[in-house]
Structures are given as structure tokens and as C-alpha cells.
Amino acid sequence: MSILSSSRSAQMSLPQKFGQLNWGLIFLLLLVSCVGFAMLYSAAGGDFQPWAVRQMARFAIGVGILVLVAMVDLRVWMRFAYLIYGVGLLMLIWVDVAGVVGMGAQRWINIGPVSIQPSEVMKVAIVLVLARYFHGLSHEQIGRPHYLIWPLMLVAMPAGLVLVQPDLGTAGMLIMTSGMLFLLAGVRLWKFAVLLAGGGAALPVAWGFLRDYQKQRILTFMNPESDPLGSGYHIMQSKIALGSGGIFGKGFLEGSQAHLNFLPEKQTDFIFTALAEEWGIVGGLTLLALYTLIIVYGYAIALRSRSQFGRLLALGLTSMFFLYVFINVAMVMGLLPVVGVPLPLVSYGGTSMLSLLFSFGLIIGVYVHRDLMVGRNGGHDM
Amino acid sequence: MNRDQDRVKSFTRRALLLGGAQVVLFSALTGRMYYLQVVESEKYKVLSEDNRINLRLLPPPRGRIVDRYGVQLATNKQNYRVIVIAEKTSNVERTLERVGAVVELTDYEKRRIMRDVKRKRSFIPTMVRENLTWEEVSRIEVNAPDLPGVSIEVGQSRHYPYADQTAHLIGYVAAVSEKELTGDPLLELPDFRIGKNGIEKMHDLRLRGRAGRSEMEVNAFGRVIRELDRREGQPGEDIQLTVDMGLQSYAHQRFGEESGAAVVMDVTNGEVLALVSAPSFDPNLFTNGISGENWRGLLNNEKAPLSNKALSGQYPPGSTFKMVVALAALDSGMVTSDHRVFCPGHRDLGNVRFHCWKKGGHGTVDMTQGLMHSCDVYFYDLAQKIGIDRISEMGKRFGLGAQLGIELPGERPGLMPTRDWKRRVLGHGWSLGETLVSGIGQGFILTTPLQLATMTARIASGKAVVPTLTRHAAEMASNNGQLVSAAHAADGPDFPSLGLPQSYLAVARAGMNGVSNVPGGTAYNARIKEKEYALAGKTGSAQVKRITMAERSTGVLKNEQRPWKDRDHALFVAYAPVDNPRYAIGMIVEHGGGGAATAAPIARDIMLECQKRDPVNKAPSSSLAALGPLPMPRETR
């Protein structure tokens, strides 16, 4: 590692950093978002109102945030990792308490005109905090079990808080994203095997803690045809929409399942179905290919980074992005239970769009600071 | 640095591992997509169309029923109803209040409407009130700006302009019951009506027509987006009856308060010109569901207005049966028309005495006189000579004791008893006394008024005339859609001969002529005085309650002194004109006392009216296709 190169990136001026932004990746994000705009336009029956216009505005704001986040020194994010995590945790506790005091499940905090979903904050925070923690451990240290106690607690606290909201989908996302970070950090594979076995054994116990509607969702997933007008309705209608789309689809704005409202939540969770109904398998695979390209970018950025923090951060967030796509698409195709995970960048939704572009800001930040040497605690002591 | 290299190596390996797993998972998605969108695509395309397209049945207009001149007896009336669509008004309750100010709405109705509104999706119309008058329709139209979401809808409902005069003939329609569902979706429509009685029932399929269908694109909530395809159905066929409504109407009114039935038919071709069962009921009550009060009223009426007595009422024919006995005797070859019997007023069989209706007896009578005076002893004698089986056989030749197959529901067979029948059904042998009472149309013998009319038509024509009620579409088609003209119909069906020599029939006819046109005949007082219209008839009375020995010793009560239910049935059969018979009538007045007193005058008036109208010789003026607008029912005369 040449001192020159590391000091060069450390000393980069803001215009230099701006020039270093990964415009290819940003273009891909724009492309995927445009697919989203088109589908929202279609879902509204050929109208930019009410969804497409607002989604575009959010995208514009989100790209601004992305650029800002990317240009902030990576070490700053590392230094603030625990702070962000702590704020996220407090907000989660707040919504849980408010939920108990108020009426039923509460997932939002309203600050003036902005409403923040703490679980979205936590998804990014957990990656930041774990990346920071594992950055500070040597390969040997990671091999020792007691070094895993703290990061497991870091995961367990927010996951538990989200679970009692109850938001099974987000809790699952948190745990799976963290699992991938543990894997990437080099935790020994046999420990995962033990964990999986233990988790499998705990399933029956976990079943008892689920709410009735959650149990119903899982049962329906197992056999959607058993209750075609009840809980299975969404999955059935989604499969009908997908299947009837065929190879080339019914044509833009011609998706009868979506336009006649047989398809539930066609602008949010089931937007992939609407796309595949109108554009067929060709459209569906094209979107999947775009997502794949974005993920490949993520991998390339992670592997190119010289710091463990950057590597873990970039690949952790990329993997979370992958999880979003996989869970959503698998869900609408009837491969997973309906858990309420949006299709990233395409589904209508402000928080999700902003938090995703924030994440990509971090990933691109890793790219911009790819040669930066990062010390154990975020310093420049290497 | 070394430490970091380990980490880098490990990270790269793990990243590849993770990437590999992600490739596998995305491949799974691709595979699933291929399975759903390529392999199973056809199946889902069908399901998607099923989702999208809602078939709606277009009920066909029900065929009309007209009389032989095209007078409409059953039509479809425009039924105006007010509907309210909840989503088009901000406050349904307030709108209903305003509707209530224009047309009358009870609190009960308002509650019913509010309940319906809450139950249905907001774009589905709710019926507020139906059967609006024109005035109410226009009042709502005028106030339309103040009545958001309220509109007028036109449906069709069945209407019978002649109401009770045609009830037993036409029957009525009513909502389909669970048992009548055949899987035909048309029957499951909420306002669909099905023939429940009369011609409406017997020819229901022809009248019904075939439903059209409209393919509607609907959304997930069932809201219609647009019509994709429409196939018009086929309207129901119009059905023409042989009945002359003018005569039917007259006959119905002639019954007045009496309970009974009359059938008038053409003796040459069996066309029924009038078929009356009194009292009757208003079939219009059934179209929209009869109220419980009305229904109980009809059920509890002792004169049984719901029963069609013309073909489901079974009565002993009494003396109207005597022509059959006389013909059976002649046909047996055991007696001739010259056969004479002395009537002392009774006949003894062992120690049982059979009375003649005339206390002092008729003296010596021959066959013609026996009929004319309706001498019971004469027919006891004939019956005893020839036996029950010959009598029954002849009765059957004249259309008695079996269904005639008229196109109306509920026809009963009556009964022509034989020795064999009694052994089989009642389990013991026939007795001679039973033969004697059979000779005067009592005992086991049962007939319907329709059978009596047929019997009379057969006596008049000598042919096995069968009654019919409708003219078929096929006949009309062969006649270029024109009504079959009277002349054409007259040389219509060629009935087989009864196989009786004219000389035998002449005896029966002479007897009937004597009854009505010779002084001393039992119905001489009820004769038709105009020679060209004169009828030949036969009176009859059927005992409802047996006269006991005790009553005989204390003096038989006159019919008028007995309670209505215990009085004899009065019967009368006749044909006219005497010389060239064209019309026959069979009728009964329930508990009317003697045939001569009550039945004969009514029958005479009907036969006179019939001949004056002379329906079989009057050519109908209009074709069915060019039926004018609905004629209003005539004023009662």
C-alpha cells in the first residue's frame, strides 16, 4: 500500500470526490427507478398522479442525499456508527412504548412533516456498527467465540424490538443481513451450522410466539388454494397475473389483473407482478438483470476496497439489497410467505426509497474512499 | 499487514461463497418465473379471463298468451321502480326522506332499504319501490335534481288483464322455488318468474324463450367497467289459445256467486272455447309474491277458488251419465230402443229398495222417454241387464275415467269402475246393487266437467273428439304467421269414429232433445226459445250425502233446506244447435241442488251467448305478429 495513494484519497477535495463518484452505478439506480415510475404510472391507470410524481420527487431528493453521503469521509461514518445505532435503538424503543400506550402496532415516528420508520434506520445502522466492530478484529480474534458475544447482542437488541412491534419481515431482514456480515467477517462456518441447527430446533417454540395473522400468512403460503377468497387470495391473484402475462406480457397499461384491482397493493409490494403481467417474463428478467448488475457493482466495490470496514459495509449493504429483491420477488411468485418487503427502488414508498439511496450513498462512499486506510477505531493510523 | 492479508483472503472467499449463493437464489427466481409465465401460462390466462369477465344473463321477454282472436290474456307490463345507488348520494337517509316526500314510503320500507344499502357494495343499486304509477314516475323525474343517486328503472312484470276470469286457464307465474332449479342460471336470477300453473306452467319452456348474455369486464369488486360482448337471446314464443275470451268472460260472470265449473268446446275439433272454474282468484297477486293474508283467504275459502274444478274436480255424473248407459245397452244387443219398463217409483232388489227421483213413478217408459224424464228405474233396469263392465267400457269410449291430456296441469282421471277394479283395489267382489246405482251415474263413478263436455261432444259428433286448448306455432308457421283461420281449423284433426251406429246415437240425441225441447222434459223450462239456437241437454244431480231410511220415513228434506255443503251437485250437459251440433258444454254447480234448477239455466245462457258469438265461424282479423298494443280489459257487463 503506497502512502501516496492513501494520503491522496485522504486529502481529496470535494470536487475531486464528486468526480470519483461511481456514475455507472448511479445510472443503473436511475434505470431501475424509471421502471418503477413507469409501473406506478400504469398502476394509477395511466396517470402520473398520485404515485409516479411523488416517487420521482423522492428519487431526486434521494440522489442528492446519496451524493452527500458518498462524499463524507468513510471514517466519519465509522466514528458515528455507534451513535447512529444508538439513536436507531432509542427510536425503536420509543415506537414500541408508543405502541403499547397507543393503539396496536406502531412503526412510525413523526417529526414535524417527516415520518421516520426506525426499523429502516436500523437496517443501515446494524450494517455500519457490525462493519465497524469486525473491522477492529483480527482473523484470529474472530475465530474465538467470546468475541462474538457483543455483535450478537448488537443484532439481538434491535431484532427483538422489531419483532415485538410485530414486524416479522424486518426482523428477518435484520437477522439475515447480520448473518451475512458475520459470514463475510470470517466467522467459522461450523458455527453457522450449529446456529442453523439450533434455530431449526427452536422453530416450534417460535411458532407459539407468533400472532394469529402471522401464523395464518405462513399457513396460507403453504397452501394458497385452500382459501382462495381469504388469505390465499393475494398469492393466487398474483400468480394468475404473472402467469397470464406469459412471455411478452399483455402490454403496457393492459394488465387486467392490476387494473381491475384483482392484484392487491399493486403499487407497493406486488409491483413486480404488475410489471411481469404487462411486460411478461421478458420484462421480469430484464429487471432482475438490472438488479444483478447493481449487485455486481456492489461486489466489485467491496472487493476493490482496501479497508475491512469498507469491504464489510459495501458488501453488507449490497447483500441487504439482494435480500430485498429476492424476498419480494419470491413472495409475489408464491415461493415465500407474504411478509411485506417492498421491491427496492420500484415499489412506491418514501422511507424505503430514501434509506436505499442512503445505503447506496455509503456503497459509493466506499468506492470513492476505496484506497483510504482506516484505523482500528476509525482513525488514520494504519 | 499479514493480519489484514488473512482477512482479505477470508473476505474474498466468503464473498465468492455469498455471491454463489445469491446466483443460485436468483436462478431459482428465474426458474419459477419460467414455470409460471411460460409452462403454466395458458392455465393462468384462463383464470385471468375468468376473473375479468363476468357473464350477465339477459332474461328474454316472456311470450304472450292470446285468445283465438289475438286478445291478450297474459302480457308483460312495464314495471317502473325507483332505485338508489348509495355511492352517488352523500347521505342515503336524507335522500330517502326526500323520496318519501314524493312517493309514499313506510318506515318499514325505509328500514329495509337502509339494511340493503349497508349490505351491498355502494355502486350496486338498491330497489326502493316497484310498481310505480305514471304519476309517481313523473313526480320523481321532476324532482330528480333534489334526489341524487335516485333513478327510475324499467323492468317487466307479468300482467293478466282479465285477472280472475282467466286464472284457471292461464295460471300464473311466481318466483322460482329451490326445487325447481335445474342448473339453468336463468332460473337463479332474483326477479325471474316461472310458470306455476295453467298454460304458464304447461308451456313454460316455450313461453320462456332463451336468455341472451352479455360479457362484462368487471374489477375485483364486481364493478362493471365495460361491455365486451353481447348476444341477444330469443324472446319467448307467443301462445294462442282456442278460447274465445268474450265467451270465457261471459261464462265466468254468469256463475255469479255459485261454485262450479263449465267447459265449452267445439264438437268437431275439440277446441275448448271456454273453461271456467268458479270462484276464481286474481293471478296478478302471485306475480310479485302473494301476501300471507290473501293466501290464507284463498286457502280457507270453502268454495276452493284455487282448485281448477273443470278438470281436477271429480264428481259423480248423476243422470248426465244415462246416455252412456243407454248406448251401452243398445250396443250390447240385449235391448232395443223400444225396450219398455214400468216405473212405480222404485225398484226392489232382494230386500233393498232403489228409489226413482219421482216419488210416484213414471209409469211405462221407453228409452227416449227414460232419458227425457230421467227415469231412474228405467236405467236400474238397463244396468241390471247389461252389467257394470259394459257400462264402464262405454264410459271409457266417451272419454270418461281417464285423463284426456288437455294442456293444463292437475287433470284428474275420474273413475269408471269395473268388477275387476273393485276386486283389485277394494279387495271384495262387485254387488248387483252397485251396478244399479251406477246406472244412474252414482256410486263409484266419478267424472270431471271437462270429461262431461267431451262426452257430450262425442254424443253430438259420433267421433272420439279430444279437447285441445292451444294452437301450435307449427300451424301458425305453415300459415305464414297468420292465425289459423276458423275454416282451416274446422277441418283440422280427423278424429276416429266411436264405432256406434248412427241409429243408436240418434236415440241418445232424441232423448236429450226431449229433455230440453219437449214439454215435460226435465230441462224444458231452461230451453232456448230461439229455434235456430235450440240446445239438446241432460240434467243431473249428484248426491253429496246419502239419504237415510230415517229421513225417507220423515219425509226427504228439500235441497234448499239442507246446509250448503250437504246439498246435491247440480249438473248439466248439452250440445247445440240441435240439428247441426257445433258446441258442447259440460258443467256443474257445486251443491246447486237439482240440475234443472241451477245448472241448466246457466248452461243455457252460456250456450246461447256462444252461438250468438259463433266463435268457430268468425275469422280472426289480426295476425299474431301485428298484435296491437295491450287492449284494456273489458268492462264487466
Residue pLDDT, tens place only, A153-208: 999 999 999 888 777 788 888 999 999 999 999 888 888 888 888 888 888 887 87
The answer to whether residue A244 neighbours chain B at the CB level (below 8 Å) is yes
Residue pair A358/A165 in contact (Cβ under 8 Å)? The answer is: no
- pLDDT of B402 > 50? The answer is yes
Q: Give the CA dihedral A291, A294, A298, A303, nearest 10 degrees.
A: 110
Sign of CA dihedral A345, A349, A350, A351: negative
Per the listing, cell 445505532 goes with A85
At B468 the three-state DSSP class reads strand
Q: How far is A185 from chain B (nearest CA, A)?
A: 6
Instruction: Give the other-Cβ count within 10 Å of A216's Cβ.
Output: 16
Q: Does A283 touch chain B (CB under 8 A)?
A: no
pLDDT of residue B616 exceeding 70, the answer is yes
- The predicted model gives B77-99 an average pLDDT of 83
Question: What gap in Å lies between CA A55 and CA A48, rounded to an integer?
Answer: 10
**Which residues of B have a CB under 8 Å from any CB of A?**
1, 3-4, 6-8, 10-12, 14-15, 17-19, 22, 25-26, 28-30, 32-34, 36-38, 40-41, 43-45, 47-49, 51-52, 217-221, 225
Residue A226 has pLDDT above 70, yes or no: no
Average pLDDT over residues B8-32: 93
Measured between beta carbons, the chain A residues lying within 8 angstroms of B225 are: 260
Chain B CB within 8 Å of residue A193 CB: no
User: What pLDDT is recorded for position B550?
Assistant: 65
Burial of B351-390, coded b for 16+ CB within 10 Å and e otherwise, reads: eeebbbbeeebbeebbbbbbbbbbbbbbbbbbbbebbbbb
C-alpha cell belonging to residue A100: 403499547
Give the other-Cβ count within 10 Å of B439's Cβ.
31
| Half-sphere CA count of B175, side-chain side, radius 13 A | 9
Place B12 in a pLDDT band, splitting at 50, 70 and 90.
very high
The phi-psi region of residue B28 (left if phi > 0; otherwise alpha if psi is between -120 and 50; otherwise beta) is alpha
Which residues in chain A are closer than 8 Å to B121, comparing Cβ atoms? none
- Over residues B559-580, the mean pLDDT reads 87
> Which residues in chain A touch residue B28, judged by CB atoms under 8 angstroms apart?
330, 335
- Tell me the C-alpha distance between B341 and B326, whole Å: 13
CB contact under 8 A, B15 and A299: yes
- Minimum mean pLDDT range among B33-37, B188-192, B216-220, B378-382: B188-192
Query: pLDDT tens-digit profile of A98-156?
Result: 766 554 556 677 776 677 788 889 999 999 999 999 998 888 888 888 899 999 999 99
Cβ atoms < 10 Å from Cβ of A254: 13
The pair phi, psi for residue A143, each rounded to 5°, is -70, -15
Q: Give the residue, B544 or B398, on which the prediction is more confident.
A: B398
Grid cell locating B624: 299474431
- The proportion of chain B whose per-residue pLDDT surpasses 90, expressed as a percent, equals 47
Q: Which amino acid is at A287?
A: L
User: What is residue B516's predicted lDDT score, i.e. its pLDDT?
Assistant: 93
Contact A329, A272 (CB under 8 A): yes
> Comparing A324-338, B152-166, B178-192, which segment has the lowest mean pLDDT?
B178-192
> Distance between CA atoms of B79 and B92, rounded to whole angstroms?
23
- In this structure, what DSSP letter does residue A147 have? G
Q: How confident is the model at residue B637, as a pLDDT?
A: 24
Tell me the sheet residues that pair with A263.
none
Q: Where do the domains of chain B lie, and which CATH numbers do they carry?
A: 86-148 (no CATH), 245-617 (3.40.710.10)
Mean pLDDT of B465-472: 84
Determine the pLDDT at residue A381.
44
Q: Which residues of A touch B40 (CB under 8 A)?
A: 243
How much is the average pLDDT of A311-326? 95
Check A247 against B41: CB less than 8 A apart: yes
> Chain B contact for A138, CB < 8 A?
yes
* Interface membership of A147 toward B (CB under 8 Å): no
A115 alpha carbon, distance to own chain's centre: 18
Name the pLDDT band for B56 (thresholds 50, 70, 90): confident
CA distance A198 to A190: 12
**pLDDT band, residue B566 (cuts 50/70/90):** confident
A37-87 pLDDT, tens digit each: 999 999 998 889 889 999 999 999 999 999 999 999 999 999 999 999 999
Query: In angstroms, how far is CA A155 from the centroid of its own chain?
Result: 16
Over range B552-574, report the average pLDDT. 79
d(CA B464, CA B499): 9
* Element of type H or E holding B611: helix B600-613
**Which one from B319, B337, B374, B392 is the annotated catalytic residue?**
B319
Decide if pLDDT at B492 tops 60: no
Instruction: Give the pLDDT of residue B490.
Output: 44
Asked if residue B483 has pLDDT above 60, the reply is no
Say if the Cβ atoms of A261 and B217 lie within 8 Å: no
Kindly indicate the confidence band of residue B474, based on its pLDDT and cuts at 50, 70 and 90: very low
Enter the C-alpha cell of residue B482: 297468420
Taking CA atoms, what residue in A is nearest to B35?
A243
Question: Which of B11, B43, B45 lies at the smallest CB-CB distance from A311?
Answer: B11
Specify the higher pLDDT residue, B567 or B438: B438
Q: Is B38 in contact with A281 (Cβ distance < 8 A)? A: yes
Q: B220: exposed, middle or buried (C-beta count within 10 Å: 0-12, 13-18, 19+)?
A: middle
Q: Looking at residue B633, what is its pLDDT?
A: 29
Residue B576, all three cell numbers: 247445440
Of A352, A367, A346, A240, the C-alpha closest to A299 is A367
Across residues B468-489, what is the average pLDDT?
A: 52
* Buried b / exposed e along B309-318 (16+ C-beta atoms within 10 A): bbbbbbbbbb
- Whole-number pLDDT of residue A112: 66
Is A98 or B408 the better-scoring residue by pLDDT? Answer: B408
Half-sphere exposure of B565 (CA within 13 A, CB side): 4
pLDDT at B423 over 50: yes
Which of A236, A242, A328 to mutate to probe the B interface, most B CBs <10 Å? Answer: A242
A239 interfacial to chain B (CB closer than 8 Å): yes
Averaged pLDDT for residues B592-618: 87
pLDDT for B548 = 66
What's the pLDDT score for residue A377?
A: 66
- Among A135, A240, A373, the strongest candidate for a mutation testing the B interface, having the largest count of B CBs within 10 A, is A240
Contact B33 A311 (CB under 8 A): no
Q: How far is A244 from chain B (nearest CA, A)?
A: 4
Structure confidence at residue A302 (pLDDT): 95
DSSP B269-292: T-BEEEEEEES---THHHHT---H
3-state secondary structure of B570: strand
Res B477: pLDDT: 44
- C-alpha A352/C-alpha A36 separation (Å) is 13
Smallest CA-to-CA distance from B628 within B170, B65, B61, B72 is with B72
Per-residue model confidence (pLDDT) at position B634:
28
pLDDT at position A358: 95
Write the pLDDT tens digit of every residue in A204-218: 887 877 777 777 777
Q: Is residue A72 exposed (0-12), middle (13-18) or buried (19+ Cβ within 10 Å)?
A: middle
Q: If pLDDT is split at 50, 70 and 90, which confidence band does B493 have? A: low
Is the separation of the CB atoms in A105 and A99 below 8 Å?
yes
Nearest to B537 by CA among B502, B510, B566: B510
Q: Is A3 exposed, middle or buried (0-12, 13-18, 19+ CB in 10 A)?
A: exposed
Q: What pLDDT sits at residue B475?
A: 52
pLDDT in tens, B349-369: 888 899 998 888 899 999 999
pLDDT digits (tens, 9 = 90+) for B229-281: 788 878 888 888 999 999 999 999 999 888 999 999 999 989 999 999 989 99
* Whole-angstrom distance, CA of residue B318 vs CA of residue B588: 11
Question: Is pLDDT of B459 > 70?
Answer: yes
Q: Which three cell numbers stand for residue B236?
A: 319467448
Q: Which of A6-20, A63-77, B67-81, B151-165 has the lowest mean pLDDT?
A: A6-20
Measured between alpha carbons, how far apart are the two ends of chain A, in Å?
10
Phi, psi (degrees; rounded to nearest 5) at A68:
-60, -50
CB atoms within 10 A of CB A270: 29
**Among A240, A308, A326, whose Cβ lies nearest the Cβ of B29?**
A326
CA distance A308 to B130: 81
Cα angle A296, A297, A298 (rounded to 5 degrees) comes to: 90
In terms of DSSP H, where are the helices of A21-115? 23-43, 52-71, 74-101
In this prediction, residue A351 carries a pLDDT of 84
Q: What is the pLDDT of residue B488?
A: 44
Instruction: Tell me the DSSP string of B86-124.
Output: GGGSS-HHHHHHHHHHHS---HHHHHHHHHHHHHS-TTS
| Contact partners, residue A8, CB within 8 Å, separation at least 6 | A371
How far is residue A42's CA from residue A52's CA, in Å, rounded to a whole number? 9
Smallest Cβ distance to B12: which of A239, A276, A303? A303
Is B374 one of the annotated active-site residues of the chain? Answer: no
Chain A residues with CB inside 8 Å of B6's CB?
138-139
Instruction: State the average pLDDT for chain A.
Output: 86
Q: Rounded to whole angstroms, how far apart are CA atoms A190 and A80? A: 33
Q: At what angle do helices B322-332 and B388-397 cross, to 10 degrees?
A: 110
* Nearby residues of A38 by Cβ (< 8 Å), 6 or more positions away: A52, A252
| Set of cell numbers at residue B598 | 241451477
Residues A303/A311, Cβ–Cβ less than 8 Å:
yes
Out of B10, B38, B41, the one facing A186 most closely (by C-beta) is B10
Question: B78 or A134, which is more confident?
Answer: A134
Domain spans, chain A? 3-368
Q: Write down the pLDDT at residue B478.
A: 46
Contact A243 B15 (CB under 8 A): no
**pLDDT recorded at residue B78:** 80
Give the chain A residue nearest B32 (alpha carbons): A333
Distance CA B376, CA B319 (A): 8
d(CA B346, CA B377): 6
SS3 B266: strand
B12 CA to chain A: closest CA distance, Å?
7
Q: Which residues pair with B155 in a beta bridge?
A: B79
Asked if B310 and B590 count as a contact pair (C-beta separation under 8 A), the reply is no
- DSSP classification of residue B497: B
Does residue B589 register a pLDDT over 60? yes
Task: Give B-chain residues touching A241 at CB under 8 angstroms.
Answer: 44, 48
Closest-CA residue to B225 (of A157, A262, A240, A172): A262
State CA B492 to chain mean position distance.
24
- Mean pLDDT of all residues in A346-350: 90
Residue B166: its pLDDT value, please? 93
